[in-house]
Amino acid sequence: MRTSRKGSVEMPAFVRQLVKETEKRVSSFFKGGRGGAAEGEQAGEGEKEEVIPSPYLDRPVLDKLTEEGCVRWGLTYALGSMQGWRANMEDFHNCVPQLGGELADWSFFAVFDGHAGSTVAQYCSQHLLGHILAADGIAADDNPEKVRGAIIDGFMQTDKHLHSVARREGWERGGTTVVAALISPYYIYFANCGDSRAMLCRSGQVCFSTEDHKPFSPLEKERIESAGGTVSLQRINGSLAVSRALGDFSYKGAENRTPCQQMVSPEPEVCVVERSPADEFLVLACDGVWDTISNEELCAFIHNRLRVCNELRDVCAQVIDLCLYKGSLDNISIILICFPGAPQLSADALHQEAELEDLLEAKVAEIYEELCSAGEEPDLLSVLTVLASTVIPGLPPGGGIQSKRNCIISAYYQQRDTHKPAVPNGLGSS
């Protein structure tokens, strides 16, 4: 990634160094107290402690899947995805920048956030678009009501076919949320089923965002209870944290009720937004992003990063790392779609970014020297803690100090190398 005059830096290497400082605490917190004997205690005589596999790893998987592309009418896009602290990667995606035929100027993008396994998310990523296009309504005349109906029908048909496959293959559990955007020459059709989210930024501000489907939302809770379920711990029957999803058929067995009246509904909420020359970018992301950052913060952060990054995949990578640093313990997936009106690289912004990184390097050096003078061993966490309480002007809006940890960690290890004791002449030679 190049955001200023400084050379490229491989972010994961530095992230791994910071993770080493915190992973034991995180692992202990999430693996302790899960129903068995507490750490240091023995199970009673004759008792067998049930071992429940943790959904979290001892250390996160930091490798990123990235993808990017463009179409002739000016749309560019990038995907970034990372497993993170989760024991398994359950996210899938669709990036179809051109649908072809009479829909050559149409695009489709979607994020599928699986739960209780990845099987359903993978199946839906392979079949949802086909069911949407097979429904009557998607045509070049771009009739919003017909398109909206086709999207809903596509979701319902996907869930119906998925149910047949699940019974045949013996899939007992598992589901996926979906957030998708179908982009035509005149409209953006947003489809949301669950708690993944879409957001459109126009003229530097959040213009539109989808609403999460959570069990405690009044209308969702009413449907759940009418279908014989309960909402406790903000979850359906104390277990499932979303109220709409594809799959999850153990929550869809209420007799004499339509699919949309079950505890978990497969019906998406479809919103139509007319396109504008002021449209800058839209984001599709799973809740691993939205659990740590608000719509407004992410809009401001991406708006700023587009002015200093020459590749969209770098922007996605920075969002993923920001969410990790802010405490996301989930899989993290984001699709960033930019319109012709998106912010462009700016010489002034690049200069400001370089000045900010110079300032951060100087602050790290100052803190390192102060800790050494006080007789302390300056570890990375100590430096980060002091720096977090320092006023730093010019930090990326929406990202704050967490968004510059790449630079900070690099500066820390530079200081550590500089302060290594010199090896006396003659020692270590053969």
- Per-domain residue ranges of the chain: 53-343, 348-418
Which of the pair, 90 or 374, is modelled with greater confidence? 90
- Indicate the range of 6-10, 214-218, 240-244 predicted with least confidence: 6-10
Tell me, what's the pLDDT at 38? 36
Please provide the DSSP assignment of 113-148 as one string. EEESSSHHHHHHHHHHHHHHHHSTT-STT--HHHHH
Q: Which of 409, 309, 413 is nearest to 353 (CA)?
A: 309
State pLDDT tens for residues 95-141: 999 998 999 999 999 999 999 999 999 999 999 999 999 998 899 99
Which of the pair, 290 or 9, is modelled with greater confidence? 290
Identity of residue 118: S
Tell me, what's the pLDDT at 420? 78
Q: Give CA angle at 281 (62, 270), nearest 5°.
A: 95
- 53-343 and 348-418: same fold? no
Tell me, what's the pLDDT at 171? 77
Q: What is the DSSP letter of 393?
A: T
Distance in angstroms (rounded) separating the CA atoms of residues 33 and 52: 11
Q: Average pLDDT in the 226-237 region? A: 96
Distance in angstroms (rounded) separating the CA atoms of residues 64 and 304: 22
Identity of residue 284: L
- pTM score of the predicted model: 0.86
Tell me, what's the pLDDT at 359? 97
Q: Is 199 left (phi over 0), alpha (psi -120 to 50) or beta?
A: beta
> For residue 220, what is the enclosing H or E element?
helix 218-226
Q: What is the DSSP letter of 404?
A: G
Count Cβ atoms within 10 A of the Cβ of residue 186 and give its class: 0-12 exposed, 13-18 middle, 19 or more buried. Answer: exposed
Q: Which of 327, 240, 262 is nearest to 290 (CA)?
A: 327
Kindly give, in sequence order, each residue whose CB lies less than 8 Å from that of residue 149, ignoring residues fewer than 6 positions away. 135, 137
State pLDDT tens for residues 369-384: 999 998 888 999 999 9
Tell me, what's the pLDDT at 422? 61
Q: How far is CA 401 from the centre of its chain?
A: 19
Q: Which CATH superfamily is domain 53-343 in?
A: PPM-type phosphatase domain (3.60.40.10)
Secondary-structure breakdown of the chain: helix, strand, coil percentages, each rounded to the nearest 5: 40, 25, 40
Q: Which of 311, 330, 316 is nearest to 284 (CA)?
A: 316
Res 292 pLDDT > 50: yes
Half-sphere exposure of 206 (CA within 13 A, CB side): 16
Distance in angstroms (rounded) separating the CA atoms of residues 121 and 115: 8
Class of domain 348-418 (CATH, top level) = mainly alpha
State pLDDT tens for residues 52-84: 778 899 999 999 999 999 988 899 999 999 999
Tell me, what's the pLDDT at 15? 44
Which of the pair, 421 or 48, is modelled with greater confidence? 421
Instruction: Please provide the average confidence, as pLDDT, over all residues in the chain.
Output: 88
The helix-helix angle for 347-373 and 405-418 (nearest 10°) equals 40
Count Cβ atoms within 10 A of the Cβ of residue 338 and give its class: 0-12 exposed, 13-18 middle, 19 or more buried. Answer: buried
Q: How far is CA 270 from the centre of its chain?
A: 21
Tell me, what's the pLDDT at 23? 44
State pLDDT tens for residues 318-332: 999 999 999 999 999
Res 18 pLDDT > 60: no
Q: Average pLDDT in the 413-424 region? A: 80
Q: Average pLDDT in the 131-156 region? A: 95
